[in-house]
Amino acid sequence: PDLFQAPDYYNIDDLLTDEHKLVRDASREWVKKEVSPIIEDYAQRAEFPTQIIGGLAEIGAFGPYIPEEYGGAGLDQISYGLIMQEIERGDSGVRSTSSVQSSLVMYPIWKYGNEEQRKKYLPKLASGEWMGSFGLTEPNHGSNPGGMETKFKDMGDHYLLNGAKMWISNAPFCQVAVVWAKNEEGRIHGLIVERGMEGFSTPETHNKWSLRASSTGELIFDNVKVPKENLLPNKSGLGAPLGCLDSARYGIAWGAIGAAMDCYDTALRYSKERMQFGKPIGQFQLQQKKLAEMITEITKAQLLAWRLGVLRNEDRATSAQISMAKRNNVDMAIKIAREARQMLGGMGISGEYSIMRHSMNLESVITYEGTHDIHLLITGFDVTGLNAFK
């Protein structure tokens, strides 16, 4: 009964099935019990709480839509989105861990791997026994991953991998990394690199002011011998990693709503309790304007995410539609976090409340998985047919 009541101004719950609501409420309950009480402390210490890995697996956050025969939860895209929403209500960094594991590691193995690879990796990734990372971004190539320099050479009985990836979520503790690299002809392929392979190291990136409860690092390949059976055989070219990003970006479109809801809810409660000039601050028009605009934007974002989920369930969502939702919803959340922080006055900067942490986290979310501006250019390209990237 004391479960958090999410804003649902347009009765969007009516659009959800009983299964969607069950999945969402189970995730919500778990986040409330296992994430919210500890996450501020871990963020302050810049540490990922590894003890929550088992719980994330139990709520289906590792491979929500991967078929059950491979250990996934076998759920639809709306359930996947709702799980991301609830986790990000807790913390964007925790949602990152789940996004990477599901959409950037399990998804390519499921879609582009062969049956042996699926059987070897997916169940262990679904249970959290193994954690994965996704190496696309490089020191010299972020928005333009097609320019990547990491490369591999066919040595007859194995591949030799050289190069470096940076800004990689989960890198410092991953057992497996899905790494994108060019072959001798310059064609991009996915390789599964495992911890323990000689020449493979994962130094941690420190000094982050954002996503502090998520572990970020580099992937360094110094003449790593990768067995030939570790190449993902069923798709190559830049479209392969970009296909994984479609799935993760969709999850972020939902996740950002969770962070926004938490900020809105905190500000709403505070505005009814905090007295100034003899009145609750929520009685002042300027504060009501902020709250009214927040709930309006949250409601629009919910409808965008829900409709996109329906299109994805029907396998009809385009990459450009996903870009629009990722861009809009993250921008919505970062603006709400900023307004909500002001509504709490000085208390807004304190770790007593979650708002400042969400606000700082969202600075990464608006940059990773394609920056705010890159997604705008994807929409611009889609509606004009004219490519403004290059």
At 97, the amino acid letter reads T
Catalytic residue among 34, 86, 88, 369: 369
Do strands 132-135 and 176-182 pair parallel, antiparallel, or not at all (unpaired)?
A: parallel
Convert residues 248-287 into a mask of x (bound to ligand TGC by CB under 6 A) and - (unbound): x---------------------------------------
**Whether 369 is catalytic:** yes
CA–CA gap between residue 262 and residue 125 (Å, rounded): 29
238 touches which of ligand TGC, ligand FAD, none (CB within 5 to 8 A by kind)?
Answer: ligand TGC
Piece of 9-17, 42-50, 223-231, 369-377 that binds ligand TGC (CB under 6 A): 369-377
CA distance 295 to 259: 13
Distance, in Å, from the CA atom of 8 to the CA atom of 306, rounded to the nearest integer, reads 13
Specify the residue, 148 or 343, whose C-beta has the smaller distance to ligand TGC: 148
Q: How far is the CB of 365 from ligand FAD (least distance, A)?
A: 9
Give yes or no for residue 378 binding ligand TGC (CB under 6 A). yes
**Least distance from C-beta 146 to ligand TGC, angstroms?**
4
Q: How far is the CB of 389 from ligand TGC (least distance, A)?
A: 5
Q: d(Cα 329, Cα 302) in Å, to the nearest integer?
A: 9
Counting contacts by CB under 6 A, is residue 246 touching ligand TGC? Answer: yes
* C-beta of 28 vs 375, nearer to ligand TGC: 375
- 144 bridge partner residues: none
In terms of CB distance, is 179 or 325 closer to ligand FAD? 179
Cα separation, 118 vs 20, in Å, equals 27
Query: At closest approach, how far in Å is the CB of 298 from ligand TGC?
Result: 21
Instruction: Please choose which of ligand FAD, ligand TGC, none residue 283 contacts, taking the beta carbon within 5 to 8 angstroms, the exact cut-off set by kind.
Output: none
Contacts of 33 (CB under 8 A, 6+ apart): none
CA trace torsion 31, 32, 37, 43 (10° rounding) = 40
User: 101 near 133, Cβ under 8 Å?
Assistant: no
- Which of 166/257 has CB closer to ligand FAD? 166
**Tokens coding 317:** 């969502």
Question: How far is residue 66's CA from residue 324's CA, in Å, rounded to a whole number?
Answer: 25
Q: Minimal CA–CA distance to 169: which of 91, 117, 96, 268?
A: 96
C-alpha 44/C-alpha 186 separation (Å) is 43
Hunting for tokens 């900067």 — which residue is that?
349
**Coil, helix or strand at residue 298:** helix
Q: How far apart are CA 356 and CA 380, in angstroms?
A: 32
Q: Which residues contact 16 (CB under 8 A, 6 or more apart)?
A: 24, 78, 82
Q: Does 164 bind ligand TGC (CB under 6 A)?
A: no
Q: Which of residues 31-90 bind ligand TGC (CB under 6 A)?
A: none
Q: Which does 319 bind (CB under 5 to 8 A by kind): ligand TGC, ligand FAD, none?
A: ligand TGC
Q: Given the rule CB under 6 A, which residues bind ligand FAD? A: 100, 134-137, 142-143, 167-169, 211, 216, 364, 367-369, 371, 373-374, 377, 389
Stretch that binds ligand TGC, among 17-25, 71-79, 92-100, 182-190 (CB under 6 A): 92-100
137 binds ligand TGC (CB under 6 A): yes
- Under the binding rule (CB under 6 A), the answer on residue 100 touching ligand TGC is yes
Which residues here bind ligand TGC, judged by CB under 6 A?
96, 99-100, 134, 136-137, 143, 145-146, 169, 237-239, 242-243, 245-246, 248, 319, 368-370, 374, 378, 389
For the annotated catalytic residues, the residue numbers are 369
